[in-house]
Amino acid sequence: MYHRILVPLEHTDYDDAIVAHVRDLAKLCEASVVLIHVADGWAARNQHQLVLRESSEMQDDRAYLEERADALEAAGITTECVLAGGDPGREIAAAADRERCDLVAMSTHGHRGIQDLLRGSVANEVRHHTTVPVLMVRGVPRHVHPT
Protein backbone atom coordinates (compact mmCIF):
# COMPACT_ATOMS: atom_id res chain seq x y z
CA MET A 1 0.00 0.00 0.00
CA TYR A 2 2.64 2.58 1.04
CA HIS A 3 6.26 2.42 -0.07
CA ARG A 4 7.85 5.52 1.43
CA ILE A 5 6.50 7.36 4.48
CA LEU A 6 7.54 10.90 5.43
CA VAL A 7 7.43 11.49 9.19
CA PRO A 8 7.86 15.07 10.42
CA LEU A 9 9.32 15.18 13.93
CA GLU A 10 9.32 18.25 16.13
CA HIS A 11 11.83 17.02 18.73
CA THR A 12 9.23 16.82 21.52
CA ASP A 13 7.30 14.16 23.40
CA TYR A 14 4.59 14.39 20.74
CA ASP A 15 6.87 12.44 18.39
CA ASP A 16 6.49 9.22 20.38
CA ALA A 17 2.93 8.57 19.18
CA ILE A 18 3.67 8.96 15.48
CA VAL A 19 6.93 7.01 15.57
CA ALA A 20 5.20 4.07 17.29
CA HIS A 21 2.34 4.17 14.78
CA VAL A 22 4.63 4.45 11.76
CA ARG A 23 6.91 1.67 13.01
CA ASP A 24 3.97 -0.76 12.85
CA LEU A 25 2.62 0.64 9.57
CA ALA A 26 6.01 0.55 7.85
CA LYS A 27 6.54 -3.07 8.91
CA LEU A 28 3.08 -4.03 7.67
CA CYS A 29 3.61 -2.30 4.30
CA GLU A 30 7.33 -3.07 4.05
CA ALA A 31 7.79 0.67 3.55
CA SER A 32 10.85 2.81 4.10
CA VAL A 33 10.67 5.89 6.31
CA VAL A 34 12.03 9.40 5.85
CA LEU A 35 12.25 11.36 9.10
CA ILE A 36 12.26 15.14 8.73
CA HIS A 37 12.73 17.92 11.21
CA VAL A 38 12.22 21.50 10.08
CA ALA A 39 14.27 23.90 12.13
CA ASP A 40 12.38 27.17 12.10
CA GLY A 41 14.62 29.59 13.96
CA TRP A 42 15.97 32.70 12.26
CA ALA A 43 19.30 31.10 11.34
CA ALA A 44 17.58 28.02 9.92
CA ARG A 45 15.20 30.11 7.83
CA ASN A 46 18.03 32.24 6.45
CA GLN A 47 20.91 29.77 6.21
CA HIS A 48 20.85 29.87 2.40
CA GLN A 49 21.81 33.57 2.63
CA LEU A 50 24.40 33.07 5.34
CA VAL A 51 27.70 31.28 5.43
CA LEU A 52 27.26 29.56 8.77
CA ARG A 53 28.06 26.25 10.27
CA GLU A 54 25.15 24.29 11.57
CA SER A 55 24.01 25.88 14.84
CA SER A 56 24.24 23.84 18.04
CA GLU A 57 20.43 23.64 18.00
CA MET A 58 20.50 22.17 14.50
CA GLN A 59 23.29 19.77 15.54
CA ASP A 60 21.04 18.62 18.41
CA ASP A 61 18.15 18.23 15.97
CA ARG A 62 20.32 16.15 13.61
CA ALA A 63 21.45 13.91 16.50
CA TYR A 64 17.81 13.49 17.56
CA LEU A 65 16.78 12.47 14.02
CA GLU A 66 19.65 9.99 13.83
CA GLU A 67 18.72 8.50 17.22
CA ARG A 68 15.12 8.00 16.08
CA ALA A 69 16.33 6.57 12.75
CA ASP A 70 18.63 4.11 14.53
CA ALA A 71 15.69 2.81 16.57
CA LEU A 72 13.61 2.27 13.41
CA GLU A 73 16.56 0.64 11.63
CA ALA A 74 16.95 -1.72 14.62
CA ALA A 75 13.31 -2.71 14.04
CA GLY A 76 14.18 -3.63 10.45
CA ILE A 77 12.86 -0.47 8.76
CA THR A 78 15.00 1.34 6.17
CA THR A 79 15.15 4.93 7.41
CA GLU A 80 16.63 8.19 6.14
CA CYS A 81 16.90 11.60 7.81
CA VAL A 82 16.33 15.09 6.45
CA LEU A 83 17.07 18.25 8.41
CA ALA A 84 15.47 21.25 6.75
CA GLY A 85 15.02 24.90 7.58
CA GLY A 86 12.20 27.31 6.90
CA ASP A 87 8.44 27.31 7.19
CA PRO A 88 7.55 23.85 8.57
CA GLY A 89 4.30 23.31 6.66
CA ARG A 90 5.74 24.27 3.29
CA GLU A 91 9.02 22.41 3.87
CA ILE A 92 7.23 19.20 4.85
CA ALA A 93 4.96 19.38 1.79
CA ALA A 94 7.95 20.06 -0.48
CA ALA A 95 9.89 17.18 1.09
CA ALA A 96 7.01 14.78 0.44
CA ASP A 97 7.38 15.49 -3.28
CA ARG A 98 11.18 15.76 -3.32
CA GLU A 99 11.64 12.50 -1.38
CA ARG A 100 8.96 10.72 -3.46
CA CYS A 101 6.88 9.79 -0.42
CA ASP A 102 3.39 8.40 -0.82
CA LEU A 103 2.25 9.17 2.73
CA VAL A 104 2.94 11.92 5.27
CA ALA A 105 2.38 10.65 8.81
CA MET A 106 2.52 13.28 11.53
CA SER A 107 1.66 13.89 15.12
CA THR A 108 -0.76 16.63 16.07
CA HIS A 109 -1.30 18.54 19.30
CA GLY A 110 -5.08 18.52 19.11
CA HIS A 111 -5.49 22.30 19.34
CA ARG A 112 -8.91 23.59 18.40
CA GLY A 113 -10.53 26.90 17.72
CA ILE A 114 -8.67 29.89 19.11
CA GLN A 115 -5.63 27.79 20.11
CA ASP A 116 -5.27 26.71 16.50
CA LEU A 117 -5.46 30.32 15.37
CA LEU A 118 -2.96 31.49 17.99
CA ARG A 119 -0.48 28.65 17.63
CA GLY A 120 -1.12 27.71 14.02
CA SER A 121 -1.38 24.21 12.72
CA VAL A 122 1.49 22.73 10.77
CA ALA A 123 -0.62 19.64 10.09
CA ASN A 124 -3.36 21.76 8.55
CA GLU A 125 -0.85 23.66 6.43
CA VAL A 126 0.73 20.41 5.20
CA ARG A 127 -2.71 19.06 4.37
CA HIS A 128 -3.39 22.10 2.18
CA HIS A 129 0.00 22.18 0.43
CA THR A 130 0.43 18.55 -0.60
CA THR A 131 -1.39 16.08 -2.78
CA VAL A 132 0.12 13.20 -0.79
CA PRO A 133 -2.25 11.59 1.74
CA VAL A 134 -1.68 12.84 5.31
CA LEU A 135 -2.16 10.61 8.33
CA MET A 136 -2.52 12.53 11.59
CA VAL A 137 -2.09 10.86 14.98
CA ARG A 138 -2.78 12.84 18.11
CA GLY A 139 0.33 12.95 20.26
CA VAL A 140 0.28 12.95 24.04
CA PRO A 141 3.14 14.56 25.95
CA ARG A 142 4.69 12.32 28.63
CA HIS A 143 3.47 14.49 31.51
CA VAL A 144 -0.19 14.18 30.41
CA HIS A 145 -2.07 10.93 30.79
CA PRO A 146 -5.09 10.27 28.56
CA THR A 147 -8.38 9.92 30.40
Tell me the Cα Rg of the chain.
15
Query: Could you state, in order of their start, the residue ranges of all structural domains in the chain?
Result: 4-138
Q: Between 127 and 29, whose confidence is greater?
A: 29
Nearest CA among 28, 20, 26, 142 for reference residue 9: 20
Query: Which residues have C-beta within 8 Å of that of residue 122, sequence separation ≥ 6?
Result: 8, 88, 89, 92, 106
Residue range 40-99, pLDDT digits in tens: 765 555 555 444 556 788 889 999 999 999 999 999 999 999 999 888 999 999 999 999
For residue 29, count CB atoms less than 10 angstroms from its CB and return exposed for 0-12, middle for 13-18, buried for 19 or more: middle
Percentage, residues of the chain above pLDDT 90: 59
**More confident call, 99 vs 121:** 99
Cα dihedral 25/98/49/81 (nearest 10): 30
How many CB atoms neighbour CB 57 within 10 A? 13
Residue 48 β-bridge partners: none
Task: Look up the pTM and report it.
Answer: 0.83
Instruction: Tell whether domain 4-138 is in CATH 3.40.190.10.
Output: no
